[in-house]
Amino acid sequence: VSGFVILLERSLRIGDFVRVDGFEGRVTDIKTRYTLVRASNGSESVVPNELLITQRVENLSLESPRFLLSTHYWLTHEADVVQVQGLLVRAAQQAPRVLDDPEPFAMLAEVAPEGLRFQLNFWIGDAASGHGLARSEVNVAVLAALRQAGVALAQASQSGTACRAAAPHT
């Protein structure tokens, strides 16, 4: 019955980019008993249609093809906040998959003993192509911009416990 509900309501369509039960990918086929969802890495998941009816399903391509991504960077306390925010935004704008509208933005998300944690938010228009490469492109551009400006990443603490994020991460 679930398969017929999905097919009749057209709540999911072949080509939609969805997130269900922790799995994210593009719907490649809808059968009466199951739906095939292919992740950007090529792995395919057989999702029972009952799950698509009874659990929360995020259709990431239904409303808009734009998809928000965030990255975080821990920098030393000496970093100039305004300068870093500008560097992060300009670096994101250089990445090929980052959209100009809405514009990327950076903020100081946390001040902690480990350093200053900045959050960079940016949008891509092709979530189905995967997030990893887009994040990598932005991280590479950010790292180059920070190095060129002489801005240091936070280091591991003296006690031997590593800073929560001593390098760019997501």
Residue range 55-83, pLDDT digits in tens: 877 776 666 667 788 899 999 999 999 99
Residue-level pLDDT at 11: 63
Residue 160 has pLDDT above 70, yes or no: no
Put the strands of the sheet holding 23-30 in their side by side order: 44-48, 34-38, 23-30, 17-20, 57-59
70 contact partners, CB below 8 Å, separation of at least 6: 119, 120, 121, 122, 170
Residue-level pLDDT at 89: 97
Residue-level pLDDT at 62: 60
Distance CA 129, CA 124 (A): 10
Percent of the chain with pLDDT over 90: 40
Residue-level pLDDT at 13: 79
Q: Interior CA angle at 84 toward 82 and 86, to 5°? A: 70
Residue 103 has pLDDT above 60, yes or no: yes
Paired sense of beta strands 44-48 and 115-124, if any: unpaired
Residue 39 has pLDDT above 70, yes or no: yes
Residue-level pLDDT at 95: 93
pLDDT-based confidence at 169, cuts 50/70/90? Answer: very low
Q: Are 149 and 69 in contact (CB under 8 A)?
A: no
Q: Rg for the chain (alpha carbons), in Å?
A: 20
Tell me the pTM.
Answer: 0.61
Helix (H, G, I), strand (E, B) or coil at 149: helix
Residue-level pLDDT at 78: 94
Distance CA 83, CA 80 (A): 5
